Structure 1
Amino acid sequence: MPYPELAERLAAVRAAIDGALARGGHQQRVTVVAVTKTHGPEAVRAAWEAGLHDVGENRVQEAAAKMAALDVPVRWHLIGHLQRNKVRQLDGFALVQSMDSPRLADALHAEGVRRGRPIDVLLQVNASGEASKGGYAPDEVVPEAERLTTLPGVVVRGVMTMAPFDAGERVLRATFAGARAARAALAEVGHPAAELSMGMSGDYEVAVEEGATMVRLGTLLFGARG
């Protein structure tokens, strides 16, 4: 059986999330998104059997191969950068977490209109201000939130952010609070922005304390890919 430690690891994660919820006091529900990038289809099946029904992939092509190989009805999340020429390959995804620019927003809107079904997205916000990270700058969020109300081909469900690798607690909390403010700005102009996807294997407890509704966990659940 692949990933024999998954159930035990997941139980530990859920206990840690419960503790973080109690400390944080935001009273949100938290979805664990199992990040299966670089792992084979057997990781997705193991996730489903362990009770993880949301799966995150970085690349459209890698996800498509797994979708074709599996019959488990997980909810697929695209969490990696999306090239505009790949928007027609999104039918299998429940949520695009990485809408990181106005040009991509326009392409996703056009595809949602073309297919007659809007695409659910999260606005990727570079809340840490790192030059190496993509996403909207915090000062771009308010004008873009207003512009996005004119694009019916996308439904903005919330915000996604990534904190700096190995950041201290003060920087983590500032980054996650910035994402929370961006979500509030989206909601202020009428978007159904309930989701806050932030927190990965190294910082998910702080993210939950700061209000995360989704945490994206790979190594912590499946181990390092050899």
Structure 2
Amino acid sequence: MSLPEVLSRIREAELVAERPSESVRLVAVTKGRTPDEIRAHVLAHGEFALAENRGQELRDKRVELPNVEWHFIGTLQTNKLKYLRGVTLIHTLTRADHAAELARLAESWGSAPDVLLQLHNGEPQKHGVQLSEASSLYHQVSLMGLRVRGVMIMAPEGDPEGADRTFADAERLAGDLGLSELSMGMSDDFPLAIRHGATLVRVGRALFS
């Protein structure tokens, strides 16, 4: 599948969900891809946000692809937050101490990245803040001077019913907190995520297949 085909499916899903056209943004997941592959498969079709899940890889690719909106979608580690300078949006904030360190680093960077709270999806091996604790974390992070734009969640693997429930829970929580950004849906499930209000869909494999 090519990027234009993915975009077409996104627009079709918006139509089915009776949402405005272009209310959903594609975030191209580029982990493991070379700058040349990214140029050929993504940037040749227009300007799109790119997302990495490893800090060092993101840092290195920003050197070769500097005029691009970069997102971070990997697990945050305190000693690797320094690599996230210049990132527009971090999708995976789960802890107040990470927010505090980002705020500290931002003083020397000159600007702070916006953040999304990563919600736990019920799978033991996955990271995320519990839905019951998300409001508290949101208020803590906001007091640190970081802008919380919304929430992110991953659907449980191989569980369509669980995915529907997970996306609905995230949509409800974002509404309760008055947050507009919902990062939900990947290559296999983004139409369902769009039905539940996703504003950012993270697609990688489908763009490079």
Q: TM-score, normalised by structure 1?
A: 0.85
Gaps of 5+ in 2: none
1:52 Cα deviation after fit: 4.2
Please list the CA deviations of residues 11-66 of structure 1 after superposition, one character each: whole Å capped at 9, or x if unmatched.
22222112211222344711111111011111222211112421010101111121
Q: Structure 2-normalised TM-score?
A: 0.91
Residue in 1 that maps onto 2:46: 51
Residue 158 in structure 1 maps to residue 153 in structure 2: no
The CA RMSD measured in Å over matched residues stands at 1.8
Matched with 2:191 is: 205
The offset of 1:185, in angstroms, is: 3.2
2:167 maps to 176
Number of matched pairs: 207
How far apart, CA to CA, are the structure 1 residues paired with 2:15 and 2:184? 18
- How far did residue 116 of structure 1 move? 4.0
Q: Any unmatched runs of 5+ in structure 1?
A: 1-7, 188-192
Name the structure 1 match of 2:128: 135
Contact 1:159 1:195 in 2 (8 A): yes
The superposition leaves residues 98-148 of structure 1 with CA deviations (integer Å, 9 ceiling, x where unpaired) of 11222212222222345442321111111x211111011111112222222
4+ runs deviating over 6 angstroms? none
The equivalent residue for 2:176 is 185
In the alignment, structure 1 residue 104 sits paired with structure 2 residue 98: yes
Pairing 1:67–2:62 present:
yes
Q: Is the 8 A contact 2:55 2:81 kept in 1?
A: no
1:220 equivalent among 176, 196, 206:
206
Q: Does structure 1 conserve the Cα–Cα contact (< 8 Å) formed by 2:58 and 2:83?
A: no
Q: Give, in whole Å, the separation in 2 of the partners of 1:119 and 1:221.
A: 26
Secondary structure of 1:86's aligned partner: helix
Q: Is the 8 A contact 2:150 2:174 kept in 1?
A: yes
Are positions 1:10 and 2:6 aligned together?
A: no
2:28 matches 1:34: yes
Specify whether residues 144 and 70 from structure 1 end up closer, same or farther in structure 2 by C-alpha distance, changes over 3 A only: closer
**Secondary structure of residue in 1 paired with 2:88:** strand
Counterparts of 2:58 and 2:95, CA distance in 1 = 22
| 1:37–1:56 contact (8 Å) kept in structure 2 | yes
Structure 1 stretch 131-140 or stretch 25-34: which is displaced more? 25-34
85-94 vs 54-63, which moves further: 85-94
